[in-house]
Amino acid sequence: MKLGRRTFIKGTVAAGAVTAAGFPHIWIKDSSLAYAASGEIKVGVLFSLTGTTAIVEESLHKATILAIEEINAAGGINGMQIKPIVEDPASDPATFAEKARKLVLGDKCVSVFGSYTSASRKAVLPVFEKRKNLYFYPTLYEGRECSKNVIYTGAVPNQQQDEFVPWLIEKFGKRWYLIGSNYIYPKEENNYCKKLLAEAGAEVVHEEYVPLGHSEFSSVINKFRSEKPDVIFSTVVGDSVVALHRQYRAAGLDPEKMPMASLTTSENEVAAMGGDAAAGHFTSAPYFMVHESPENQKFVEAYRSRWGGDKVTHFVSEPSYFQVHLFKQAVEKLSAGDISPKTIVEAIKGEEMIAPQGRVRIEPENLHAYLWPKIGQSQSDGQFKVLKTTSEWLKPEPYKAYQNQVCTEAGLKEI
């Protein structure tokens, strides 16, 4: 048969017309069913397993996988199994974006769980916003973000500080020394802290930022000595936390007179510096490993029997775990043909569950989570002692430091 150019074009156009006009219903149905094809729901798991932040992200990966395995073992979501597609973005923001694109476009995942650092979240954000997909982000962070394609299950500044700062002022005093690593997160946290301090009539005696990865704190410690602050408010991150605590202790400073109050020191960091160096200092977080609840007991036991008896759970691995269960609850409400990132966002708004830390809920306006901040004091055995828990869950307010902005369902609004 000879196929002329003209007949070929005619035929193609005709076939196209039939597809477009004749079977539109089947076409649409097929494309949405792709998210739950062959009885499987594909999700992406995007935590670094190599590179500088792999140390922490590996624990987030493990908590996520544990939750997925639990759900699958209990029969999946409406009979469908969750299939995790694991990628390793190697602690590099550009690789994060590339792998996110692969998970969303190539693998057609309906949602992705991932990221520890803000830099990596910012890198993948355009992918999820452009492709109308959904990202679950478990880390406490600096707030000031209002994406409609991200579910934020970690704490924002108001949740970590609203109870913590007044409590510290009352217990220790009004002269505060703010120290952080030199990047966006500590600056935003300190911004909010200064607002709370001003409201309480307390003063900032010194504010400074050290380079990321900095490990020589002797001059800083001399400043502690000469300023004699009542509270050292620390948002130093990574291996700098370890160096700061160890040198503070070697210098013979006393946590009872001049405690460090941190938003970033978890069981993970304490394990890296040794319980003795951390003992006596304070941390505010929605979750501590020692928190007493049946849900947490179950979580810790499951985590240790799956990944090893010496492993610790902490305030970023816990949200990594419960956000998968929240995802399950949202998808459960949908019929197989309706499952898509867009319908999941709608279904997860206002969704509640009892997480290891307590009952959590996704706020429909800004897609952040209601959480239960606690104040913990580090003990020499490497665990925390919970001194205070909020009387009620705290609403997430990612723009609380900025009075003229608010995150609504329609997006960011200027007032």
Partner 1 sequence: METILAQIVTGLSIASILLLVALGLAIIYGTTGVINLAHGEFVMIGAYTAWALQTYVGIGLIESLVVIFFTVALFGWIIEKVVIRHLYRRPLDTILATWGIGVMAQQAIRLAVGGELRYVEMPSAMSSSVSILGLEISAFRLFILALSALIFGFTWYLMYRTSLGMKLRAITQDREIASCFGIKSKRIYSLTFAYGAGLAGLAGALVSPLKSVSPEMGTTYVVDAFMVVVLGGVQSLVGTVASSAILGELTGFLAFYSNDTMAKVLVFCAIVVLIRFRPQGLFAAKVRT
Q: Which is nearer to partner 1, 258 or 348 (CB)?
A: 258
User: Smallest distance from the beta carbon of 260 to partner 1, in angstroms?
Assistant: 16
User: Smallest distance from the beta carbon of 58 to partner 1, in angstroms?
Assistant: 8
User: Smallest distance from the beta carbon of 403 to partner 1, in angstroms?
Assistant: 29
Nearest to 140 by CA among 115, 162, 165: 115
Q: Which is nearer to partner 1, 188 or 269 (CB)?
A: 269
Q: How far apart are CA 315 and CA 332, in angstroms?
A: 26
- Binding interface with partner 1 (CB under 8 A): 52, 54-55, 182, 208-211, 213-216, 218-220, 222-223, 225-226, 239, 242-243, 246-247, 249-252, 271-274, 277
Backbone dihedral angles phi then psi of residue 273, each to the nearest 5 degrees: -110, -10
Backbone dihedral angles phi then psi of residue 386, each to the nearest 5 degrees: -80, 115
User: Smallest distance from the beta carbon of 240 to partner 1, in angstroms?
Assistant: 8
* DSSP codes, 291-345: ---HHHHHHHHHHHHHH-TT----TTHHHHHHHHHHHHHHHHTS-GGG-SHHHHH
User: Smallest distance from the beta carbon of 249 to partner 1, in angstroms?
Assistant: 7
Q: Angle of helix 54-73 relative to helix 317-332, nearest 10 degrees?
A: 30
User: Smallest distance from the beta carbon of 322 to partner 1, in angstroms?
Assistant: 24
User: Smallest distance from the beta carbon of 68 to partner 1, in angstroms?
Assistant: 24
Q: Which is nearer to partner 1, 209 or 402 (CB)?
A: 209
Q: How far apart are CA 267 and CA 275, in angstroms?
A: 9
Q: Which is nearer to partner 1, 274 or 280 (CB)?
A: 274
Cα separation values, 186 from 111, 190, 356, Å? 29, 6, 27
User: Smallest distance from the beta carbon of 72 to partner 1, in angstroms?
Assistant: 28
**Hunting for tokens 């001049």 — which residue is that?**
258
Q: Which is nearer to partner 1, 32 or 215 (CB)?
A: 215
Contact in structure between 402 and 144 (CB atoms under 8 Å) = yes
Amino acid at 91: S
Q: Angle of helix 54-73 relative to helix 294-307, nearest 10 degrees?
A: 110
Q: Which is nearer to partner 1, 381 or 409 (CB)?
A: 381
Q: How far apart are CA 151 and CA 135, in angstroms?
A: 6
Q: Which is nearer to partner 1, 116 or 128 (CB)?
A: 116
Q: Which is nearer to partner 1, 55 or 386 (CB)?
A: 55
For 1-30, give one letter per residue: b (16+ CB within 10 A) or e. Answer: eeeeeeeeeeeeeeeeeeeeeeeeeeeeee
